[in-house]
Structure 1
Amino acid sequence: MATPLPDALVRAVTDPPRGCADLPTIGGQIRARPEDFEVEELPAYEADGRPGHVLVWLRKRKLASEDAVREVARQLRIPRVEIGVAGLKDRDAVTRQQISLPERAMASLASFEHPAITLSDPRPHSHKLRRAHLHGNRFRVVIRGLELELDEAERRAAAVVERLASEGLRNYYGVQRFGRQARNLEPGLATLAGKRRRRQKGDLTLSAGQSALFNLYLATRAERGLSTTALAGDILQKRDSGGMFECEDPSSDQARIAAGELVVTGPMFGSKMRAPSPGTPAHELEREILSIVKLNPAKLAKLGRSAPGTRRRLLVWPDPIELARAPAVAEPCELTPGLELRFCLRPGSYATILLRELCG
């Protein structure tokens, strides 16, 4: 039987320190109804009009993306593997995203019917939609059940929004990344360490382990005041173009971070991840994170294509967050007024992490 992970480690991964911890929160409840949590995918490109596949907008309510796609495959009588998806969307929400279908499925589209799924008219496209083929996601979220007067809740929320706009949002993975009650956390770390058999590329358990180490890394840097500090060896990213390079001159790169040109990246450990040069402070910090979970760096090289690894920004800047009051609603049950937020996030960033800064 595996040794349970220390409680302090689990908390650091699933409940890491908030960036706005010094500001008062507003409490409240999200997802009081699915219509209070709306997500719209921002596609990376439009349909090119060429034959081969078709792009279709899929709108769903209170249904997981994978369940919705499987239902589409079933009704259209095509294998699930032939449907392309750029990203997965929240289950307890109303969401809109693009999917791709093989061209031959067009004949069956008119007969598709489901109470929680709507499909748009098809648009010809030359290739299958792949994972991460999106610019980001647009969110509309209503926070209800506030125990504060709306004026005070709005004042507090505005202070948090101002902080996030200037200093950025810590780009943690949301707790949903680790499965119900974080059940994928320990198996994920064990898989990275070679103590469990790996499955196919994209295994959720394996990615949970990578995400846990990233959260631990970011939480460690944040607690040491290093989220926006350039260390020699850091892999820095240009915020406009996305290009990455290793920090060799911390003083000059620090000025560029302060000017909003660069952001520090953290490790999504894997077999081919770009890592800091040995002996640099950044390299030593990444090795420290691995030692906390007793993971031998040599094990990472054996992960192969199942977990090549990558770099992830420590901070992201949501598109200007719009804040407004949301009226009470009577259906399906009576719900009190609340605060409405509208914002956009990069692919892979979690709205729940932003809401955590507001609600606590």
Structure 2
Amino acid sequence: MRDADSSFSSAPVTWPPAWPFALAPPELDGEYRLTPEDFQVEEQFDFAPEGAGEHLWVWIEKRGINTAEVARLLAASAGVAARDVGFSGLKDRDAVTRQWFSLALPGRALPDGWDANLAERGVRCLEAIRHPRKLKRGVHRGNRFRLRIAGEAAQATQTRERWETLVASGVPNYFGPQRFGPDGRNLHRALSLLARGWRKRQDPQGLLLSSARSYLFNAVLAARVEDGSWGRPLPGDVLNLEGTASRFSVTAVDVETLARAASGDVHPTGPMWGAGELQSDLAVAERERSVADAHPVLSEGIVATGTRQNRRALRVMLQQATWTPAEAGSVWLEFTLPRGAFATAVLRELFCHPTLI
């Protein structure tokens, strides 16, 4: 394996580079997440706990603490092992978020006062219901966001116009800067680890591996954004059916397929890099391979882990989107995204902010 990626040898310390935008780059400054209450997230599921079973599901609201920390606190409070706590998605620390956790408690209840130490850390239990099974990762349908933006961008007509365009046409489905860590440190740690040979004990949660795969996906998406094809099918694409995990390949693109893409019914996909053959074909596959070839330590290192190829939609649609003017010239944005999509990918299309570049 090669020692370094040439593209990283002179990379800036901050991450990510300023990839092109779906529209002309926003010019106005804006603010968001001035307080945790300005960034609210609620998990959404296609099912509800059944009311009986060996696992107690608790609906948690947290503030100023991340999901993994809550899971550890729940395990200690309930007197169970960390492996007996389940959750579906990771939620931001600097936000007010609501999500389900599960606790394996066959034949017993939670002890009195179990939630006292949680309250001290900004965690509230809103509901508790029994269910037969542990909550597994990635089973929620999506997330509902309620975000307050402020500053000159919030008061500008052009920002509202950009918002309406994004609601109608979708947003490039970039992985947000959270995936790469402050100043891109997770990515640079991933580069170092993959150059040596990835070992699970050095990346037990797969965070660094995920960062590397996310970077390659973003690089493919950036190229498609630059030529305007991020929402338009090309021959050789693998298309994703909106709102489902269904995918199909197209070797030729007809009028019907273009119309379905224009309406947001299907989306081109990009590779989540890994072992195995690319599912795409023709010039689309050539472009994806060229991105991987430009970052050999990342791409070869990912393949060496045995992680299998997968696909992710290049475009994401905002569901049930609203724009509501608020106090002091600010605006509340509300929208639902499928799991794995980032609200910061939406905000970066609306205004300029140092954490959204």
Q: Deviations over 1:155-200 (max 9, x none)?
A: 22320111112221000011110112101213324555x6332316
- Structure 1 residue 287: deviation in Å? 0.8
Could you tell me which of 347, 351, 357 is aligned with 1:359? 351
1:11-160 map, 5 Å: 13-22=16-25, 24-104=26-106, 106-108=109-111, 110-113=113-116, 114-115=119-120, 116-144=122-150, 146-147=151-152, 152-153=155-156, 155-160=157-162
Q: Which amino acid aligns with 1:211?
A: S
Residues 44, 134 of structure 1: 8 Å contact kept: yes
Q: Which amino acid aligns with 2:145?
A: F
1:173-212 map, 5 Å: 173-189=175-191, 191=193, 195-199=196-200, 202-212=205-215
* Structure 2, gaps ≥5 residues long: 353-357
Q: Deviations over 1:197-251 (max 9, x none)?
A: 2316741001000000000000011112221332332111112543111112223
Q: Is residue 265 of structure 1 aligned with residue 264 of structure 2?
A: no
Q: Which residue of 1 aligns with 2:341?
A: 349
Residues 25, 357 of structure 1: 8 Å contact kept: no
Q: Which amino acid aligns with 1:183?
A: R
Q: Is residue 317 of structure 1 aligned with residue 313 of structure 2?
A: no
1:274-285 map, 5 Å: 275-277=279-281, 280-285=282-287
Q: Which residue of 1 aligns with 2:231?
A: 228
- Structure 1 residue 83: deviation in Å? 0.6
* Structure 1, gaps ≥5 residues long: 328-335
Q: Which amino acid aligns with 1:321?
A: A
- Structure 1 residue 67: deviation in Å? 1.1
Cα distance between partner residues in 2 of 1:273 and 1:10: 33
Could you tell me which of 244, 249, 252 is aligned with 1:249? 252
Q: Which amino acid aligns with 2:293?
A: S
Q: Secondary structure at the match of 1:134?
A: coil
Sequence identity percentage: 32
Q: Which amino acid aligns with 1:216?
A: A
Normalising by structure 1, what TM-score? 0.86
Q: Deviations over 1:55-96 (max 9, x none)?
A: 110111111111122111112221111111100111111111
- Structure 1 residue 101: deviation in Å? 0.8
Indicate the larger mover: 173-182 or 204-213: 173-182
Higher relative contact order (CA 8 A, sep 6+): 2
Normalising by structure 2, what TM-score? 0.87
- Structure 1 residue 25: deviation in Å? 4.5
- Structure 1 residue 14: deviation in Å? 4.5
Cα distance between partner residues in 2 of 1:169 and 1:102: 39
Q: Is residue 217 of structure 1 aligned with residue 220 of structure 2?
A: yes
Residues 14, 183 of structure 2: 8 Å contact kept: no
Cα distance between partner residues in 1 of 2:288 and 2:147: 35
